[in-house]
Amino acid sequence: MEIIDKWVAEFLIRCQHNPRVSPTNLLSALRFGDSGDCLKLKVSSVLLDLSDSLTRGSVDEGTLDLLEILEKLLLQQRSVITESHKSAYCWTAAECTLRFMWPLDPLDGLFTDALERIWTKRIGFLKENGSGLVSDELLKWETDLKKAVEDPEMYQRIRESNIRYTAISFLNQLLKEQRGLLGSSSLESVAQRRFRKRKAENNVEGDGVRGNEVPNAVDESTRRLASDNTERGTCEGDNENRNNRDVDGVGCPENDGIDKVNEQLAAEEEGTMGSQEQEHESSLDKGDKMAARELKDYLLEIQRQIDPSTRQVQEPNNAFDHSVNVTPQPSKVNRTGTSGQDHIETPDNASEKGSSSQGTWSGRVRPRLSSPVPLNVSPLKKTNSPVRRPKKFWTPEEVEALRAGVKEYGKSWKDIKNANPAVFAERTEVDLKDKWRNLVR
DNA sequence: CTAGGGATATTT
DNA sequence: AAATATCCCTAG
C-alpha cells in the first residue's frame, strides 16, 4: 500500500501545475519515512514548491527556507551541493535584504533588521552547522552588506543593482539541474521495465502456461489505448489541457532534454547486461512512452475517482471495465488442483463466497465499490507469471554496495536495499540474500 | 522478512 | 557432468 501511496504522491508531485495539490502538505499528510524513495519524493516536492514560488514571481525568505531544506535532503541523499545551489542561496539572501533598502538612508528603514534576521541569525546558524551553502560568495556579500550600513556609497551601489535577476537565474539553473538529477520517475522506470518484460514475453510467445484467466487490467488498457486512441480522446473534456501537457512524459515538462539523457544512460547500463535488448533499442523509446502513458492514464483515473470534480462522463470505458462488478458471474476459473499455485484471488472468488454464505442477500444486487484492479505493476514482486525475470548479472557497483550494506546492517537485506534504493532498484531482498550466499561460498 | 532448497541457464 | 550464477518458492 505504501508503494501505491508513493507512486500516487510522486505522480501528483510531478504532474505540475495542479493547483489543488500542495506538495508539502501532501507529503506531510502521507507521513513518509526517510528511505531513499521518500527522500526523492521530498526533493521533488521542494523543487515543485520552488518552481511554484518562481512562477508566482516571489523570491523571498520562504525561498531561503526551501533552499535550506533542499540542502538537508540532498545531504541525506549523500548528494553534493552544487554551485548553482550555493549561488542561488547567496543571491536570494541578497535579494531578500535588498528589498529593505528602499530608504535613502540605511538606518531609516528595516534594513538593519533584515541584516540581523537574515545574515546574523539565519546565516550564522548555517555557519555553526557547517552548511555547504556558506560559500565565499556569500561571505563576500555579508561583509559588503554590513559595510553598507556605514558606507553610503556602498549602500547606494547595492541598492541600485539588479540582484533579483541573478537570483532568479540561479534558482532556475538549480531547478533544472536537480530535476535532471532526479531522472525519470519510478513510474517511468517501471513502465520501461514492464515494456521490456512484455517484449521478452512476446519474443517467447509460445503462450506457454497462460492458463489463468485473470485479465491484467493494465495490459488490457494498453491494447485499448493502442487501438482506439482517438475514441479515448473524445471523453477527456476539460481535462484536455492537463493531458496534453503531460503527454510529453511523466516527468517535468521543461526537462525533456535531461530526462532523455538519463533514460539513455539507464538504457545503456541495462544494455551491458541485457545484450539481446540492443536490437530493439529504437522501438523501445516509442514503446516506453506508450507504457508510461498507459500507467499515467491509470493514475489519472484514480485521481478522478478520488476527486469528483475531475470525474468525466466515462461510461463506455467504465462499462467495459467494471461489468464484472455488477452481474455476478459464474467463476470460470477452474482451479487446476495441481499444486499450491492457486493464489489467484479473483473478484469472482469473493462473490462466490459471498453468495454461498450469505443467503440473506438473496435476489438483491449488493452495491459494491469497484473492485481493485490487480495492479500487477511492480516487476520485482512475485508475478504469478510463467515468465522468469531475465537473468541480470551483478555489477561491481552492486556487489560493493552489498558488501558495505552487510558490513553496516548485517543480514537485514531489506535494510540494505532501503539504504541504497538506487543501486538495488532492480534487486529484491531475496536477490541480495542469494548474491551474498554466492559471495561467501 | 529471512533462510534454505530447488529450478533454470550458462560456463567449465 | 559438474560448477556456477541467478531467479523462484515456501516454511517458519
> What nucleotide is nearest A392 when CA is compared to C1'?
C6
- Answer for A441: CB within 7 Å of strand B: no
The Å distance, CA of A27 to C1' of C8, is: 36
Number of H helices, E strands in chain A: 21, 0
> What nucleotide is nearest A434 when CA is compared to C1'?
C6
Please provide the average confidence, as pLDDT, over all residues in chain A: 64
Q: With 50 as the cut, is the pLDDT of residue A338 above it?
A: no
- Answer for A382: CB within 7 Å of strand B: no
The Å distance, CA of A390 to C1' of C3, is: 21
- The cell numbers describing A218, all together, are 493494465
CA angle (A221 as vertex; A184, A237 as ends), nearest 5? 85
The Å distance, CA of A100 to C1' of C7, is: 64
**What confidence score (pLDDT) does residue A38 get?**
72
- Answer for A394: CB within 7 Å of strand C: yes
The Å distance, CA of A185 to C1' of B4, is: 36
The Å distance, CA of A321 to C1' of B12, is: 53
In tens, the pLDDT along A75-131 reads: 888 788 888 899 999 999 999 998 888 888 888 888 888 999 999 999 999 999 888
- Answer for A381: CB within 7 Å of strand C: no
N-terminal to C-terminal alpha carbon distance within chain A: 36
* Distance separating alpha carbons of residues A284 and A289, to the nearest angstrom: 9
Backbone angles phi, psi at A144, to 5 degrees: -60, -50
> What nucleotide is nearest A410 when CA is compared to C1'?
B2
Do residues A53 and A66 lie in contact, with contact meaning Cβ atoms separated by under 8 Å?
A: yes
Residues 220-249 (A) near nucleic chain C, CB < 7 A: none
The Å distance, CA of A430 to C1' of C1, is: 29
Nearest to A402 by CA among A413, A393, A392, A391: A413
**What confidence score (pLDDT) does residue A94 get?**
92
How many other C-beta atoms can be found within 10 angstroms of the C-beta atom of residue A315? Answer: 9
Do residues A12 and A248 lie in contact, with contact meaning Cβ atoms separated by under 8 Å?
A: no
- Answer for A414: CB within 7 Å of strand B: yes
- Answer for A371: CB within 7 Å of strand B: no
The Å distance, CA of A28 to C1' of C9, is: 38
The Å distance, CA of A394 to C1' of C3, is: 18
Nucleotide B3, nearest residue via CA and C1'? A433
**A253 vs A420, higher pLDDT:** A420
CA A81 to chain centre: 21
- Answer for A393: CB within 7 Å of strand C: yes
**What confidence score (pLDDT) does residue A279 get?**
35
In tens, the pLDDT along A147-160 reads: 888 888 888 888 88
- Chain C bases closer than 7 angstroms to a protein Cβ: 4-11
How many other C-beta atoms can be found within 10 angstroms of the C-beta atom of residue A270? Answer: 19
Domain with CATH 1.10.10 in chain A: 396-440
In tens, the pLDDT along A26-81 reads: 666 666 666 666 777 778 888 888 888 888 888 888 899 889 988 988 888 878 88
In tens, the pLDDT along A127-147 reads: 998 888 898 889 988 898 888
- Answer for A433: CB within 7 Å of strand B: yes
- Answer for A429: CB within 7 Å of strand B: yes
Residues 6+ positions from A119 with CB-CB distance below 8 Å: A93, A97, A142, A145, A146
The Å distance, CA of A104 to C1' of C10, is: 79
The Å distance, CA of A31 to C1' of B9, is: 44
Is A396-440 assigned to CATH 2.60.40? no
- Answer for A197: CB within 7 Å of strand C: no
> What nucleotide is nearest A388 when CA is compared to C1'?
C7
* Distance separating alpha carbons of residues A91 and A97, to the nearest angstrom: 10
> What nucleotide is nearest A418 when CA is compared to C1'?
B1
- Answer for A206: CB within 7 Å of strand C: no
Average pLDDT of span A3-16: 66
**What confidence score (pLDDT) does residue A118 get?**
92
* Distance separating alpha carbons of residues A275 and A279, to the nearest angstrom: 9
Question: Over the range A348-363, which residues count as b (16 or more CB within 10 Å of their CB) and which as e?
Answer: beebbeeeeeeeeeee
* Distance separating alpha carbons of residues A4 and A76, to the nearest angstrom: 23
In tens, the pLDDT along A273-318 reads: 333 333 333 344 445 555 555 555 555 555 554 444 443 333 333 3
The Å distance, CA of A394 to C1' of C6, is: 9
